[in-house]
Amino acid sequence: MALLEVNDLRKSFATGEKALNGIDLRVEKREIVALLGLSGSGKSTLLRCINRLVDPDSGQVVLDSIDITSLGKHELRKARVQMGMIFQEFNLVNRLTVIENVLSGTLGVVSLWRTITRAFKKQDIHRAIELCSRVGIAEHITKRADQLSGGQRQRVGIARALMQNPKLLLVDEPTSSLDPKIGAEVMELVCEIAEERQIPVLFSVHDIGVARTYSQRIIGLQQGEKIFDEKTSALDAKSIEHIYGFAPDGPSAAGAH
């Protein structure tokens, strides 16, 4: 059975705009899957419906045979711990230190008292330090998060997600706020860690190059519908044109514009 199964997921916003129009997808254990599509194709909404930062209107999300969509508040919190999320804008708490940001990945499991007093467990602190050195920010752990560069901040975001010991990584446009070189470093790091810890990754991206380089399978989204779902090697010029509505990097692209 697949680790993540999404069945007929639908979501419309209050404006009436249909963000997701019956999405089905699967992510297998140890698989890295790219969600490819233009802005507004529903990639972000799809990721947020999986951990229910956004509640879907209908459909099913099943993670490791738990139906996420039917969970109550308390069980949902437990289920969210299983899914680490990495964000386009990093979403760090700027005024907290790097290590505190990483430790905030344990907030789903620590007691209320530890949350209030910020007294994290010793073994969690050790693990946070280990993760910081794994992602390459060991020398910055006592700095405030807003003193770091974009690439370093995204590394903090990765460490925070890993702090949850997740079964799945949801990664929302991890490279869009970074320059191509730093973005590639970050993607490489995510894939290395996914391989090391055998965590499957579902990442959204609008850059074909990034999708092609780092994914094993590509799911193409267009206006809330899945229009492509194949091995990355099967992504040819025609399927790109299908996903994007035009051929962005083909030889005819210059003329077509």
Partner 1 sequence: MSAANPISIENPLRRSADLFRRYTIYTVVVAIILAMSVHLLVLGTDWARMGSPSEIAETAISLLPNLNFIPKIMSPLLDTALMAFWGTLLAVAMSIPVSYLAAATTTPSMIFTFPIGRGLIVLSRSTHEIIFALIFVACLGLGPLPGIIALACRSVGFMSKTTAEAMENADRGPIEAIVATGAGQTARFLFGVVPQVFPIFLGNAIFAFDANVRRAAILGMVGAGGIGLHFSEQMKSYNYGNAGACVLAVVILVIVGEIISNRIRTKLISG
Question: Of 20-39, which residues contact partner 1 (CB under 8 A)?
Answer: none
* Contact window for partner 1 (CB under 8 A) among 84-92, 133-141, 193-201, 237-245: 84-92
Contact 217, 231 (CB under 8 A): yes
* Contact window for partner 1 (CB under 8 A) among 102-110, 125-133, 184-192, 221-229: 102-110
Least separation in angstroms between residue 132's CB and partner 1 is 17
Q: How far is it, in rounded angstroms, from Cα 46 to Cα 39?
A: 13
Least separation in angstroms between residue 55's CB and partner 1 is 12
164 scored as a contact of partner 1 (CB under 8 A): yes
Question: Contacting partner 1 (CB under 8 A), which of 70, 115, 133, 149?
Answer: 115
Q: How many residues bind partner 1 (CB under 8 A)?
A: 31
197 scored as a contact of partner 1 (CB under 8 A): no
Question: Contacting partner 1 (CB under 8 A), which of 41, 44, 69, 106?
Answer: 106
* Contact window for partner 1 (CB under 8 A) among 21-29, 38-46, 62-70, 104-112: 104-112
125 scored as a contact of partner 1 (CB under 8 A): no
Q: Is 223 exposed, middle or buried (0-12, 13-18, 19+ CB in 10 A)?
A: middle
Question: Contacting partner 1 (CB under 8 A), which of 66, 71, 96, 227?
Answer: 96
User: Which residue's structure tokens are 């249909």?
Assistant: 18
Q: Collect all residues with Cβ–Cβ distance below 8 Å to 110 and sequence separation of at least 6.
A: 120, 121, 124
CA angle 70, 72, 75 (to 5 degrees): 100
Q: At what angle do helices 122-134 and 150-163 cross, to 10 degrees?
A: 140
Contact 153, 168 (CB under 8 A): no
Question: Contacting partner 1 (CB under 8 A), which of 28, 78, 180, 197?
Answer: 78
DSSP class of 161: H
Neighbouring CB atoms inside 10 A of 16's CB total 6
Judged by the rule CB under 8 A, the positions of this chain that interact with partner 1 are 51, 53, 77-81, 83, 85, 87, 89-96, 104-109, 112, 115-116, 157, 160, 163-164
